[in-house]
Amino acid sequence: MLSILDRYFLRELAQTVAATVVVLLVIVAGSAFASVLQKVANGSFPASVMFQVLGLRTLDGLTNMMPLASFIGVLMGLGRMYRESEMHVLASSGMGPRGLLRPVLILGVVLVAITALVSLWLGPWAVRTSDAMVAAANRSVIAAGLDAGRFTNLPGKGGIIFVDSLSRDGSKLGRTFVATQSDPKKGPPHLKVVNAANGELYQESNGDGRFIAFKSGWQYEIPLGADNWRQMQYERNDTSLSSVQADDDEDPAHSKGSWTLAQSDDPNDRAEFAWRANAPPLALVLLLLALPLSRQDPRESRYGRLLLALVSFFLYNTLLALGRAQIGKGHWHSEAPLWALHAVVLALAGWMLWKQYSPRKLRQPHAGVPA
């Protein structure tokens, strides 16, 4: 049964953590939006799925954001109570560290469960869904810029194309008309006109090149300024569209399921799984580290402890990232050093909290000075 004090702590800390999550989520979404725009511009995927990919990439970013949001939220919530002397009044009323640890641990269980859900399942699912959505869009002429019933620029080439109908997924074309003009720098200019009864979009086996296969039609090559036209009837005639640019930042292990990574012997897979598995304990240790770091005097600067906490977080997170890199390079064959780091930081947080609540020794009077 929760006491009134426990409910008060939970309400105040949960509200602060929720507000911090919203603020950091906006920052993460802004960073993801810039990355998505850059990839749309270089052709990694079409603009038609930009906002869906943005939402999924933001969801994946929660893996790294949740521990930081929990840390800052608890730090700011308790810091406000210290500045307004609420914690000092509670301590003078007999509340010890156990009265503070209980609500923080209850909140920590919820936040750790959310972090584990995001890092081990929801984040990888979002990445796989995003990749599948991009792959499906790249197989559609709708994503390539074509639209039924009107003339549009031929993607990746100088010319126009007209289709009277498209299938629902954009991979099948109805009656088609294409007109392209050759590059004058590559020889005598000429106009090529192609019509087809139907067509379809397909990709190369590696998924990079995209082509339209026209079927049952005629092709006309018309030299400009001359009268030696060429006419050809065909059963199939292929033309290329803009190629799909590979995403250089893509990590194959990042989209794999956690269970698959756990059973793999590949160093990159083990490093990715170690990073996911260490997100929940990172959130819990940071919550406990926020308890001693949040203590401040009423006249102390509001952001002094926050700056110290951020430096501590980035140092902690950098050490974990270095450990992940060592696993990925095959230098470490176990996650034990990462867990040892968690244990060291947890012990440091416990020692700092004990020092704050331990009774202070009375000063001994000097010789000749009355006590």
Q: Are residues 18 and 129 in the same domain?
A: yes
Does residue 260 fall inside a structural domain? no
Nearest 5°: phi and psi at 348?
Answer: -65, -40
Q: What is the pLDDT of residue 205?
A: 62
100 alpha-carbon distance from chain centroid: 33
Point out the domain boundary residue: 206, 240, 274.
240
Cβ-contact 177, 212 below 8 angstroms? no
User: How is 203-231 classified by DSSP, letter by letter?
Assistant: E-TTS--EEEEEEEEEEEEEETT----EE
CA–CA separation, 73 vs 67, rounded Å?
Answer: 10
Residues 208 and 308 in one domain: no
98 and 218 assigned to the same domain: no
Give yes or no: residues 201 and 320 share one domain: no
What is the H or E stretch that residue 39 is in? helix 4-41
> Across the strands, what pairs with 231?
220
The residue whose two tokens read 């959505």 is 133
Q: Which amino acid is at 200?
A: E
Do residues 81 and 157 share a domain?
no
Q: Are residue 125 and residue 166 in the same domain, yes or no?
A: no
Beta bridge partners of 223: 190
Q: Are residues 36 and 173 in the same domain?
A: no
Residues 214 and 340 in one domain: no
Question: Of 225, 240, 255, which residue is a domain's last?
Answer: 240
In a domain, 367, yes or no: no
Per-residue pLDDT of the chain (371 residues; tens, 9 = 90+): 677 887 888 888 889 999 998 998 888 888 888 888 877 766 566 667 788 888 888 888 888 888 999 999 888 888 888 887 777 777 777 676 677 788 888 888 999 999 999 999 998 898 888 888 877 776 655 555 566 778 877 655 567 888 888 877 667 888 888 888 776 676 777 888 888 888 887 776 655 566 778 888 888 888 877 777 888 888 888 877 655 555 555 677 888 888 888 888 888 888 889 889 999 999 999 988 888 888 877 676 767 778 888 888 899 999 999 998 998 888 888 888 899 999 999 999 888 888 776 666 656 665 555 55
In the chain, how many domains are there?
2
- Examine the domain organization and report whether 171 and 96 are in the same domain: no
pLDDT at 347: 92
Angle 279-293/50-83 helices, nearest 10 degrees? 30
Residue 79 lies in a domain: yes
CA distance 288 to 280: 13
In a domain, 287, yes or no: yes
Residue 246 lies in a domain: no
Measured distance CA(46)–CA(137) in Å, rounded = 7
Domain end, chosen from 188, 205, 240, is at 240
Claim to verify: residue 11 and residue 159 sit in the same structural domain:
no
**The pTM is what?**
0.71
* Residue 162, CA atoms < 13 Å, CB-side half-sphere: 9
Please give the C-alpha separations between residue 72 and each of 16, 76, 110, 308, in angstroms, as whole numbers.
9, 6, 16, 11
- Give residue 35's domain range: 4-138+266-357
Q: Which two tokens stand for residue 268?
A: 């990159």
194: in domain: yes
Spatial contact of 243 and 210, defined as CB atoms under 8 Å apart: yes
Residues 168 and 74 in one domain: no
Question: Does residue 332 lie within any of the structural domains?
Answer: yes
Whether residue 134 is found in the same domain as residue 156? no
Diameter of the chain measured on Cα atoms:
123
Residue 147 resides in a domain: no
Report pLDDT digits (tens) over 214-246: 888 888 888 877 777 888 888 888 877 655 555
